[in-house]
Amino acid sequence: MPRNPSPAVLPAPRLGPPPPPRVPVPLRWTLPNGLRVVAAPMHRVPQVVVRLAIRAGSVFDPPEHPGAASFVGSLMTEGTASFSAEALNARLDLLGAALHASVGHDFAEVEGVFLSETLAEGIALLAEVVARPTFPADETERVRAESLDALVARLDEPANVAEDRVALETFGAGHPYGLPAFGTEEGIAGVPVETLRRFHAEHYLPGGSFLIAAGDFDADELRGLLADAFAGWTGEARTAVYPPLREVPAEAGRDVVVPWVDAAQSEIRFGGIGLDRRAPGWVPAAVANYILGGSTITGRLGANLREDKGWTYGARSTFTPGLAGGGWIAETAVDVEVTADALGEMRAEMRRMSTEPVPADELRRAKDALVLSLPRAFETPARVASRLGTVEAYGLPADYWETHPARVEAVTAEDVLRVSRVHFDPARLVAVVVGAGAGE
Amino acid sequence: MLTLKPLRIPSRTHVLANGLRVIAHEDPSSPLVTVHLMYHVGSKDEAPGRTGLAHLLEHLMFEGSEHAPKGDFDDLLERVGGTNNGSTWLDRTNYYETVPTHAVELALWLERDRMAHFLPVLDAEMLETQRGVVINERRQSYENRPYGMADERLHQMLFAPEHPYSWPTIGYVPDLEAVTLDDARTFYSTYYTAGNAVLVVAGDVTAERAFELAAHYFGDLPRGPVIPRVSLDAAAVPAAPAIRRETMPDEVSFPRAYLGWAVAPYGSREWVALDVLAYLLGDGESSRLQRALVREGRLAQEVDTYLYPTERCGVFGVVATSRTGVAVETLEDTVRRVLDEVAAGGVTEDEVTGAIRRVRADQVAEMAMLEERADSLAYAATVLGSAEKLEELMDAYATVTPEEVSRAAAAWLGAERCATLMVVPAGDAEVRDAA
């Protein structure tokens, strides 16, 4: 169906100056028990997100029980001194409130998402599950069985196999980051409930922990609620001692192939050693990564593998920071027939990043994208809590996000080349392929 | 009755002479604007043999237009700190950009260009590349995923092959391979028109300015042809599934039961009662199915319920995964028993109150994002007829009674209306066939 006459051609609009980034400036205080609080009121929707982070990650797993930390996290909401699991769940569900624990390598986090009209009771329940869980035998055994089934089900998915394997290849079995935080079958199957109780008593302590609240609340009211809810909780959590990271993965420069029968695609991962979130190189590295694979379509990896070749739905890369440094990962999934070609193209893009200076225009675009997208990064209570959590977890300066644009702006093409040589040189990275091997 | 402060996404609507409906939602709290263009076309508008065309065309729409050639779309938006995406579903296709306030005109200009000047750039090479990307998307998101083909099969069981909800939005591979340039051109010319679209401008811009800009960038475009619509009969709510029961082997470790029902359409009072029922059954650790299957019954690792907000009829689903050693039929029997209890009237006031609050919590979480608010307004205008219908719908939850929830279960979720798909580990199925 022709459209005649053809519509007019309108000139592209000339844009005015961008709005100055507005970053929430939170309130900070510390409870008498040492719990640090960061509070960012925002009233657009009647929701409050509260995140309590505790130094109780898998790094503290007893060596014979990998997964114990994660198991403790799963049991937080399965019964407390004042509530049976059944009573607690009924109460949370009636309030429309959600409490979820997630345990990573460094921290255990309990997140509460509350309607603002139920905040007071929500905070009280959050404090109750964190400070006074009872690990009832019946619920413990149910969660143990569910966790063991979940470990098996997880390995049905080639992407999960690739994720676990690249971590192992990057960090090695001797580093907590080399193992999944959720542990192993043996670790979870055999851990006695007494060990879980002891883990909780030793690690779930307010000193060293922090709580972020973002959303629709009055800061003075929150101050009172937190003081009451956490009054009886005392103690100082230990800091973890991590083994040193390798310089490069043991199999750097090589392909590790995990065969997968009848794979529709090959899952490809490149893994390498990243850098400390607090390091001065972090921001240049973030800019460099943005150019290589920060955006799944317009990054160099996505532009090549997806937009130019049509081999994949997307390709991306990211730094994965942790308290002990961290990693870097590039990922895609491609047609099995082009597995070897895709590995070659990815290595070529990484090599180009680590040998040629990035053109000025591409650098400009990356900086603008990173700085001008800040309002979106702080749009919702959940996102604000996440960004402020980063500042607390790594002990970054309180004005970190306010001063972030200036740090991005200062990055030069030489900076990008320097960090790319360290982090994107294919000789310093291990490749994991789950699916058809590169030689097939 | 539960007294809760009503949730609102305030908006004003203005219809341009060419039929484009423009909805403005003002929110100056962040220096952001979302431009959301929703076309009233989805996979239900595809012809048999050309499934996947609506979604493939969505991919092509990101490959440039006459004055913003390939790469420009993402590039220009990225340079201003913006983000953009699109999606295709059964009833609608949408495109949206979220940008800092100063770049609102860029987003509108780009959407105008691909509404007005897309056909000249649509060529065979573009089609081949995106055909490859979409086939890979199908592999990555469905074929290469455990249980990834179950939803597609469940829809084929719920709806007869001629029903437009029977095929998947991603499309069948032979159909994707058969799509020609002419197919894409005709589909675009028919559906991608001002008269078939809703434009939402949401965020840090006044309604007056939004209407002014919409008139400037879209006012001169033609209304477009009269749209051939799928007939109401062809897309009616089926009285019974096309296929009642099936077992599907897959490369999985645990059996999983999928139970599906075709139910009342989005926007109806009954759909709201069914939504409350979905939360009461499966959302929250104390919900009926969580207790019966997971926490107390210890039969399932997990259970989930869902309700599609689809135009011609809704789809209600229950999905449960067996624990080690539990026969998948036991899960089905337990779901049936719980549904019978609910239909018989055993629902309490507290259960309904909690379910309504949990619906509200999810609505509030969505409303925290400008993009989601724009989407909700566009969707209401597209499939319910106006943005105002969204308020009526959100308000309807507070007055849902336990009796209504029971009636909805009795009317829509009976055994005779249910399609049951059992996904079982491939090894087990072979053993069964041999036996």
B254-284 pLDDT tens trace: 999 999 999 999 999 999 999 999 999 999 9
Q: Whose structure tokens read 């103690």? A: A235
Single pTM value for the model: 0.94
Cβ contact (<8 Å) for B254 and A153? yes
Q: Is residue A186's pLDDT more than 70?
A: yes
Do A163 and A94 form a contact (C-beta atoms < 8 A)? no
CA separation for the pair B198, B218 (Å, rounded) = 11
CA separation for the pair A380, B373 (Å, rounded) = 12
Average pLDDT, chain B: 94
With a pLDDT cut of 90, the percent of chain A lying above it is 92
- Which sequence spans correspond to the domains of chain A? 27-229, 255-435
A283-294 pLDDT tens trace: 999 999 999 999
B310-366 pLDDT tens trace: 999 999 999 999 999 999 999 999 999 999 999 999 899 999 999 999 999 999 999
Cα A99 → chain centroid: 18
The H-assigned helical ranges of A31-157 are 68-75, 85-95, 119-131, 137-154
Q: Which two tokens stand for residue B67?
A: 């004055």
Q: What is the predicted pLDDT for the residue at B427?
A: 78
B186, closest residue in chain A (CA to CA): A1
Residue B319 phi, psi dihedral angles, 5° rounding: -130, 125
Pairing of strands B32-39, B93-100: antiparallel
Q: What is the predicted pLDDT for the residue at B236?
A: 85
Per DSSP, what are the bridge partners of residue B199? Answer: B22, B37
Gyration radius of chain B over CA positions: 23
A144, closest residue in chain B (CA to CA): B301
Q: Is residue B71's pLDDT more than 90?
A: no
CA separation for the pair B166, A278 (Å, rounded) = 53
Do B288 and B406 form a contact (C-beta atoms < 8 A)? no
Which has more confidence, B139 or A411? A411
Q: Band the pLDDT of A166: cuts 50, 70, 90.
A: very high
Q: What is the predicted pLDDT for the residue at B431?
A: 44
Chain B residues in contact with A313 by the CB 8 A cut-off are 133, 136-137, 140-141
Q: What is the predicted pLDDT for the residue at A292?
A: 98
Residue to substitute from B78, B252, B367, B371, interface A, most A β-carbons within 10 A: B78
Q: What is the predicted pLDDT for the residue at B434?
A: 39
Category of A22 on φ-ψ map: left (φ > 0), alpha (ψ -120 to 50) or beta? beta
A114, closest residue in chain B (CA to CA): B361
Mean pLDDT calculated for residue range A231-249: 95
Average pLDDT, chain A: 95
Q: What is the predicted pLDDT for the residue at A5?
A: 66
A window 289-308, beta carbon within 8 A of B: 295, 297-298, 303, 306-308
Q: Which of A44, A158, A310 sits opposite B368 (nearest CB)?
A: A44
Chain A residues in contact with B100 by the CB 8 A cut-off are 18-19, 372, 375
Q: Band the pLDDT of A261: cuts 50, 70, 90.
A: confident
Q: Is residue A236's pLDDT more than 50?
A: yes
B72-110 pLDDT tens trace: 898 999 999 999 999 999 999 999 999 999 999 999 999
Mean pLDDT calculated for residue range B9-20: 98
B36 sits in which H/E element: strand B32-39
> Could you give the maximum distance between any two Cα atoms of chain B, in Å?
72
Q: Which of A17, A157, A368 sits opposite B81 (nearest CB)?
A: A368
Q: What is the predicted pLDDT for the residue at A307?
A: 84
- Domains of chain B plus CATH, in order, are 12-218 (3.30.830.10), 245-434 (3.30.830.10)
Closest of A142, A33, A121 to residue A79, by C-alpha: A142
**Looking at the domain covering A255-435, what would its CATH class be?**
alpha beta
Closest of B63, B312, B75, B370 to residue A308, by C-alpha: B63
Cβ atoms within 10 Å of B220's Cβ, excluding its own: 16
Mean pLDDT calculated for residue range A59-84: 97
DSSP string of B353-382, one letter each residue: HHHHHHHHHHHHHHHTSHHHHHHHHHHIII
A3 touches chain B (CB under 8 A): yes
Q: Is residue B432's pLDDT more than 90?
A: no
Q: What is the predicted pLDDT for the residue at A2?
A: 46
Q: Which of A7, A19, A45 sits opposite B368 (nearest CB)?
A: A45
A310 touches chain B (CB under 8 A): yes
Q: Band the pLDDT of A21: cuts 50, 70, 90.
A: confident
Lowest mean pLDDT among A39-48, B47-56, B130-139: B130-139
Q: Band the pLDDT of B428: cuts 50, 70, 90.
A: low
Chain B residues in contact with A117 by the CB 8 A cut-off are 4-5
Q: What is the predicted pLDDT for the residue at A438?
A: 46
Chain B: nearest CA to A287, how far in angstroms? 14
With a pLDDT cut of 70, the percent of chain A lying above it is 98
**ipTM of this predicted complex?**
0.91
B154-174 pLDDT tens trace: 999 999 999 999 999 999 999
B279, closest residue in chain A (CA to CA): A93
Q: Is residue A440's pLDDT more than 60?
A: no
Q: Band the pLDDT of A4: cuts 50, 70, 90.
A: low
Do B184 and B56 form a contact (C-beta atoms < 8 A)? yes
Of the candidate CATH numbers 3.40.50.300, 3.30.830.10, 3.90.1150.10, 1.10.1200.120, the domain formed by A27-229 belongs to: 3.30.830.10
Chain A residues in contact with B301 by the CB 8 A cut-off are 146, 149-150, 153
Mean pLDDT calculated for residue range B28-37: 95
Chain B residues in contact with A90 by the CB 8 A cut-off are 286
CA separation for the pair A368, B345 (Å, rounded) = 59
Mean pLDDT calculated for residue range A378-392: 97
